[in-house]
Amino acid sequence: MSQIEKPVIPESPVIPEYHNEPSSSSADDHHHNNPPLTLDFSAAAIKNYCLTRFTSIIPSKKEFQTNSKSEIFNPFKPLRELTGRQWNFFFAGFWCWTWDAFGYFSVALNVAQLAKTFDVPTTTITWGITLVLMLRTVGAVVFGLVADRYGRVYPLVVAMVAVTVLQLGLGFVHTYKQFLAVRALFGIFMGGIFGPAAALSLEDSPVKAHGMLSGMFQQGYAFGYLLVICFQRAITDNSSHGWRSLMWFSAGPSVLFAIWVVLLGETDSFKKHRELSLMNHSESPGKRFAQQGKVALKQYWLVIVYMVLLMAGFNFMSHGSQDLYPTLLSVELGFGNDRSTVTNAVANLGAITGGLIFGHASNFLGRRSTIMICCIGGGALIYPWAFLKSSAINAGAFFLQFFVQGAFGVVPIHLSELSPPQFRSFVSGIAYQLGNLASSASSTIESTIGERFPLYDSNGSIIDGKFNYSKVMAIFMGCVFGYLLLITFVGPENKDADLGFSNEVNDSEPASETSSSKEVDSQKLHETRHEQV
């Protein structure tokens, strides 16, 4: 059997400007084939990159013309291209990610109750939240590498089953140390879910559906929060076991989602990648995987650093606006269970709506532009989100989360497009979770600083146990929006990149071609990549 030849990517680096010019494709080809990202630190390359940070913010007329009016104003039209199998892959990954969020927020929503159970301050319980965020990085490394080497299915299944066991066990802990131990293990397995789940959901999908599907997938996180709010009111507030009953309930569905993933098997893209690897290379798969990893790190190291800095901003934005907000409502504003449930539910409806709208909008506005628009909109809504005392705070909460999660809706596809193809699960997962690690102390920072600003009654006396979280969280979110706006502005974009494995990084020096046609193809590829600058 003759080997399938692939174009050889030259060793010489190209300028790191990642344009998204539409490429022609056949009716059967779902993907554009933008080349992998490489680095060039020449003076001309750096100058060009800096200049294009301004010129690339607004999409060109040519880029707009690649989308019809119906595609722009009807976000659901691209979804018609998905087959039943592709929908199954998407929703399997979506529900795994949703229940991941459910497990995380089941604790964040019960901080006050947990503090009472274990007889510790609120700030002490928030360290349990911080610990989960810190250890998610460990899971991202382990499960991401396994998913890229052996497939998405079994790492994701193992993580989901482990989450089931740990959530069940959390309902039986009786000391704060036991609570921390269970949540530490939960953080490791939780960190292993995002990368494989995102790859499972997106890598087989048509390119025009990427933005919308990215928004839908990411809002599994907000949807998980919304489900926790609903079941918190339905179960926790009506059970003699309190918060423990919510933990027991959350353990069940994870097993069903794991079975779903097993029945689906691997994505078509990963199967083709594995077949090509076996056909084209005589060395062992493990050795080749290690070689590719070294080359990918050499070519993508700066992009990976950028992705981590970007995700630090995103996770500060998300956790800074969500984790302590229920405490703000119940402790500072004195909202009862029903009123707090309504406000949190409205906020998450805004999050889901924003993720869908801006995820789709990023298809024609661009990933960077969409994120920057959301940062500006979110910054303008900090005051009504934090300082309104009446029911009008519901509107502030809705629209702030509309922009926060609207920006986040771009994240899954943006990270996937920037990642090296055969390490997509690992790189996107590790970037996401290292960003989580950087932002892991968000709620602890807010609660600790908040305790320096006590509230006073009408007589000027300090109210015991009540603090001005609104002021602290407003300042915190203002800084985060500014940081994310800046880091997005200076960063790269690779919109409409191929999410298959056709653009793999080479793991060897360019080989001499035996056919003149192959030499021409290689030269054309080299020239095309330089012309994109």
**How confident is the model over 428-475, as pLDDT tens digits?**
888 888 888 888 778 778 888 888 888 887 787 888 778 888 999 999
pLDDT of 180 > 60? The answer is yes
Give the residue-averaged pLDDT of 252-279: 86
C-alpha torsion angle, residues 37, 487, 313, 143 (rounded to 10):
10
Residues 6 or more apart whose CB falls under 8 angstroms from that of 366 comprise: 20, 56, 57, 59, 63, 493, 495
Phi/psi at 455 (5° precision): -95, 155
Residue 466 sits at φ, ψ, to 5 deg, of -115, 130
Token reading at 469: 């979280």
Whether residue 341 has pLDDT greater than 90: no
Is the domain spanning 77-274+293-490 CATH 3.40.50.300? The answer is: no
Q: For residues 38-52, give the mean pLDDT.
A: 82
Phi then psi for residue 456, to 5 deg, are -120, 145
Q: Provide the greatest CA pair distance for the chain.
A: 90
Q: Which two tokens stand for residue 228?
A: 């926790």
The yes-or-no verdict on residue 519 having pLDDT over 60 is: no
Q: How confident is the model at residue 36 (pLDDT cuts 50, 70, 90)?
A: low
The whole-number average pLDDT for the span 376-404 is: 94
Q: Is 376 exposed, middle or buried (0-12, 13-18, 19+ CB in 10 A)?
A: exposed
pLDDT confidence of residue 26: 39
Closest CA to 149 of 5, 273, 267, 257: 273
What per-residue confidence (pLDDT) applies to 30? 42
Q: pLDDT at position 256, please?
A: 93
**pLDDT value at 317 more than 90:** yes
Indicate the pLDDT class of residue 57, thresholds 50, 70 and 90: confident
CA distances to 20, 274, 302, 383 from 473, rounded to whole Å, are: 37, 48, 32, 10
Quickly state the pLDDT bin for 152 (edges 50, 70, 90).
confident
Tokens matching residue 437: 């690690």
| CA 128 centroid distance within chain | 21
pLDDT grade for 261, boundaries at 50, 70 and 90: very high
Which of 311-320, 360-369, 483-492, 508-517 is predicted with the least confidence, judged by mean pLDDT?
508-517
Give the angle 24-27-28 at the CA atoms, nearest 5°.
Answer: 110
User: Where are the chain's structural domains?
Assistant: 77-274+293-490
Q: Which two tokens stand for residue 141?
A: 């490394």
Low-confidence winner among 84-88, 90-94, 403-407, 418-422 (lowest mean pLDDT): 418-422
DSSP per-residue codes, 109-158: TTHHHHHHHHT--HHHHHHHHHHHHHHHHHHHHHHHHHHHHH-SHHHHHH
- In the three-class reduction of DSSP (H, G, I as helix; E, B as strand; rest coil), residue 454 is classed as strand
- With 70 as the cut, is the pLDDT of residue 204 above it? yes
- In this prediction the pTM is 0.73
The alpha carbons of the chain give a radius of gyration, in whole angstroms, of: 24
DSSP string, 331-367: IIS---HHHHHHHHHHHHHHHHHHHHHHHHHHHHH-H
pLDDT-derived band at 253 (thresholds 50, 70, 90) equals: very high
pLDDT of residue 281: 58
Find residue 462's DSSP bridge partners.
Answer: 456
State the pLDDT at residue 133: 77
Q: How far apart are the first and last CA of the chain?
A: 39
Average pLDDT, the chain: 81
**92: buried, middle or exposed (CB in 10 Å: 19+, 13-18, 0-12)?**
buried
In this predicted structure, what is the pLDDT of residue 257?
95
pLDDT of residue 499: 64
Round to whole Å and give the CA distance between 131 and 101: 15
Lowest mean pLDDT across 49-58, 242-251, 509-518: 509-518
